[in-house]
Every structure is written in structure tokens, then in C-alpha cells.
Amino acid sequence: MADNRVDLYLQPIVGLPQRRTVFYESYSRLRDETGRVMMPAEYLTVAEPEGLMTSIDNLLLFRCVQIVRRLAKQDRKVGIFCNVSTSSLADETFFPQFLELLAANRDLAGALIFELGQAAFDARGSVEARNMGKLAELGFRFSLDKVIDLDIDFQDLARSDVKFLKVSAQVLLDELTETDDGLVLRSMPDLAAQDFASLTRRYGVDLIAEKVESERQIVDILELDIQYGQGHLFGEPRPIRDAVLAETDPPADFLRPTLRGRTSRRA
């Protein structure tokens, strides 16, 4: 982090069936001293217990704001999903800085969507919920990914300004089961499978089928009336160009408060 070996990757999210890019999801990728790219599964085992997730989230947020501004200059109506951890939402050092940056960029609220996992959302405490509310008051929206439980409290999602649900294509297809009344989802046997997406939309929530790997999956997904897709079939996460990355680098002292706090705490 201190040596700025953190790259920004973007993966397209497409509208279906046209497959036109309508959003991107952003990812941080770290490089070690040799330049080898470390995947989240590797560096999170160190970052989370060391309390460094807030610094990673802060850098990702800053870069997402810059990328959204760059896209707006090109008149590209494309939003970006930016991951945020519940530890960042609850961090008393990080969150005020996070909120200040977003308050200064609230004109981007329609193009910046904050994403957290379903399990993290369900386990959020009062501080995280209150700080999510502060972001919602500025006009920002939320997305849940890693959704594996489709028996969802949609009123809770609506109250929390969650506007997108990402469900793995395979999880969706594994949920399908045939009954005497037709195709249903195992989690919601009283609802026709093709009505699930329209149910979520009644609560202002759009479904995104993620981890789409094959054309066969697309056929089944379209039958479920799902309007967005994400996965290697549409495009892998790719690093933004070095020249663009340099434009999104924060000021030298941007990460210092969160990094300093972790360093002194560790010492």
C-alpha cells in the first residue's frame, strides 16, 4: 500500500439480451515486490486481521470517483460498482473521510454503487446501518453480491436503498425445480421462477446474474427475465491502462491517516 503497488481492474456488466456494457465492477489487485499480482483470496488473509481493509477501500473509492468523472467527460452513461467492507462502514477514522469525499462528489451518486456481500449485509450492526443511511441521504445506492439465499426480506432491502442483487448464474439455475404448477425456485416454491425478477423489481431491486460462463446459461437466464449479466463470457476483469491509473492516484497524504493508525496500532 505504501509503495502504491495497487492496481484498478474493471469488469463489464452488460444489459441483456443486447450485451451492451451498462456498468463496470471495480476491483483492487495488489502486486508484490516482484510484480506478481496477488488475488483477494491471498491478500485479504493479511489485510483483514491487520485492519488494512479501510485503506484498500479508501484507495478504491478515490479511484472509482476519478474513473466515473473521466467516463462522464466522455459522455458515457456508465456506472461503477465499488466494493466496500462493513469494517470500513463502521470505522470511526475512515468513515468520516469517506463521507466527506462523497459529499464533495454527490453529483456522482447516480453512477457510483456501493457493494457488499449478502452475509455481511445481514450481519451489519447499528453503526454500519446508520452509516449506510448517511450515504443513501447523499443519493448513493447499494448492491449485494455473493447472494446465495433467495428467501430475502425485500422490505429491508428497500429501506436500506439496496437497488441490485447479484446472484451467481449457477446458483440461480441450481435453484430451479419442476413442479406440477411449472418451474419454481426451491427457496420460493409458491412463486413461478420467471416471476422472481419482476418481484424484485417491485421493490426497486434489479437482478444481475454474475459468474456467467457459457451461452447455455444465458438461454436459461433470459427465460427468467433477468436484465443484467456479468462474467467471463462478457469480459474478464482487466487492469486500466497505466496512464489512466496515474490520473487516478490520490494525493500523497490521502491514505496516511488510515495507514498511520494501523501501523501505530500494530507497533
Task: Say if residue 145's pLDDT is above 50.
Answer: yes
Burial 75-107 (b: 16+ CB within 10 A, else e): eeebbbbbbbbbbbbbbeebbebbeeebeebee
Q: How far apart are the C-alpha atoms of 56 and 70, rounded to whole Å?
A: 21
Q: Do residues 164 and 113 touch, judged by C-beta distance below 8 A?
A: yes
Q: What is the pLDDT of residue 263?
A: 47
Q: What is the pLDDT of residue 265?
A: 47
Tens digit of each residue's pLDDT (9 = 90 or more) over 212-236:
999 999 998 999 999 999 999 999 9
Q: What is the pLDDT of residue 62?
A: 83
Task: Say if residue 267's pLDDT is above 50.
Answer: no
For the chain, first and last CA: distance in Å? Answer: 17
Task: Say if residue 16's pLDDT is above 70.
Answer: yes
- The residues with which 222 forms a beta bridge, in sequence order, are none
Percent of the chain with pLDDT strictly greater than 90: 51
Task: Say if residue 21's pLDDT is above 70.
Answer: yes
Entry pTM: 0.87
C-beta atoms surrounding 267 within 10 Å:
5
Tens digit of each residue's pLDDT (9 = 90 or more) over 105-137:
899 998 999 999 999 999 999 999 999 999 999
Three-state DSSP class for 120? Answer: helix
Q: What is the pLDDT of residue 28?
A: 85
Q: How far apart are the C-alpha atoms of 221 and 196, rounded to whole Å?
A: 12
Q: What is the pLDDT of residue 247?
A: 59
Tens digit of each residue's pLDDT (9 = 90 or more) over 30-89:
888 898 988 888 888 888 888 788 888 888 888 888 888 888 777 677 899 999 988 889
Phi, psi of 25 (to 5 degrees): -100, 135
- The CA angle 243-58-118, to the nearest 5 degrees, is 115
Tens digit of each residue's pLDDT (9 = 90 or more) over 153-201:
999 999 999 999 999 999 999 999 998 888 899 888 888 999 999 999 9
Q: How far apart are the C-alpha atoms of 81 and 28, rounded to whole Å?
A: 12
Q: How far apart are the C-alpha atoms of 245 and 243, rounded to whole Å?
A: 5
Residue that wins the pLDDT comparison between 6 and 249:
6
